[in-house]
Amino acid sequence: MDFGFTADDEAFRGEARAWLGANVSDTADRRAWERTLGKAGWIGIGWGEGGYGNRVATLTQQVVWAEEYARSGAPPRSGHIGEKLLAPTLLAHGTEEQKARFLPPVAVGEELWCQGYSEPGAGSDLAGVRTKAERASDGAYRVSGQKIWTSLAHEADWCFVLARTDPESVRHHGLTFLLVPMDQPGRIEVRPIRQMTGTSDFNEVFFDGAHARVEHVVGGEGAGWKVAMSLLGFERGVSTLAQLIGFAQELGMVVEAAVTSGAVGDPVVRERLVRQWAELRVMRWNALRTLGRAGDAGAPSVAKLLWGGWHQRLGELAMQVRGAAAGVGPVEWSASAPYELDEAQHLFLFSRADTIYGGSDQVQRTIIAERVLGLPREPKGVV
């Protein structure tokens, strides 16, 4: 299959590669890096003509940028939730005033966002959210409840929150999509969650009467489920292709480790390495095949099932090829460095979550069964 990059696309690739090569070396401050990207016009290149401070790029050029970014070794983005999730949602459902207020600061890297969806007891089952938003006498909302697994909440300026505005409602009814400022001492508390990797990329967020303005409701009160489902459709797409570039680099690391340790001489290991390579190619072709399609209910779920399991198996293979050495950290233990991991060990531990976050494998299979294959819906405890 030939994806067919044009001469203009390749010229765009050259520009992107040159800029990244000149700027990636100075990325220690991730918030400053977002501002650097924004100043050069590299944020929001897929938003189209809108006058929000971003340059315009075709779909293939968006793929080019995502691939070059992954290849460059640039750090994980702090602003991707605002750029890739909030912005497309506002473009689809927001008012002109909301677009004018929130998109330019994202485009220049000045405001960072987090996603207030999952809760204890309502993770993959998003319709079970219990966070409440009540109208106060001044017409604004007061948000109370708890969110969990909130990526980058400790850095974010704003959070888009799915909350229940109708106290009598059940399941997906009576939900509203609210834009909530995070700088509310005493009303919002962020608690980092320490992971197996020793890092804290996720957080618990507690809302205790946090304020949200009525003009910051997206899509209208009670329309939160529709907006939330629309947003989830933006989570996959061009970003998947960039993710696969990173996966290829990790696979190369595992192959090199297998050669160094001599594990490549084991025919079972060789078969696993070849299978990982072949499946990675299949995932890329599938991502290209479905890129830009609208209304394909099963495509995002199929993609998540493919890469989640693949990445988890790669982490297991990264440990297998190193043998007993995989259990030894990169530095001697000390009180100042009690939990140091090398790249392969981090891959193994972090990838254990790949089949859970972003919608568990079980949920993805249910979506495919019900929305694509037309099988009977799972019985619910509450209707």
pLDDT in tens, 332-356: 878 877 778 899 999 999 999 889 8
Rg of the chain on CA atoms, in Å: 22
| Residue 368 · residue 301 · CB < 8 Å | yes
* Alpha-carbon gap, residue 345 to 348, rounded angstroms: 5
Predicted confidence band at 1 (pLDDT cuts at 50, 70, 90)?
Answer: very low
Spell out the residues 6+ positions from residue 315 whose beta carbon is closer than 8 angstroms to its own: 347, 348, 349, 350, 351, 352
Q: What's the pLDDT score for residue 366?
A: 87
In the numeric block, which tokens belong to residue 293? 């399609």
For 61, the 3-state DSSP assignment is helix
In single-letter form, the type of residue at position 216 comes to H
Q: Tell the residue number behind the tokens 């999509």, with chain if given.
A: 177
Which parts of the chain are beta strand (E)?
113-116, 132-135, 141-147, 158-164, 175-181, 188-193, 202-212, 217-218
Cβ-based neighbour number of residue 174 at 10 Å = 17
| Residue 142 C-beta-side C-alpha neighbours within 13 Å | 9
pLDDT in tens, 109-119: 999 999 998 88
> Phi first, then psi: what are they for 115, rounded to 5°?
-115, 115
In a 3-state reduction of DSSP, which class is residue 166? coil
The identity of residue 355, as a single letter, is: T
For the stretch 153-162, pLDDT in tens is 999 999 999 9
- Catalytic residue selected from 67, 119, 235, 279: 235
DSSP per position, 286-311: HHHHHTT--S-TTHHHHHHHHHHHHH
235 assigned to active site? yes
Query: Which structure tokens are listed for 26?
Result: 């100075």
- Tens digits of per-residue pLDDT, 224-280? 888 888 777 665 566 677 788 889 999 999 999 999 999 999 999 999 999 999 999
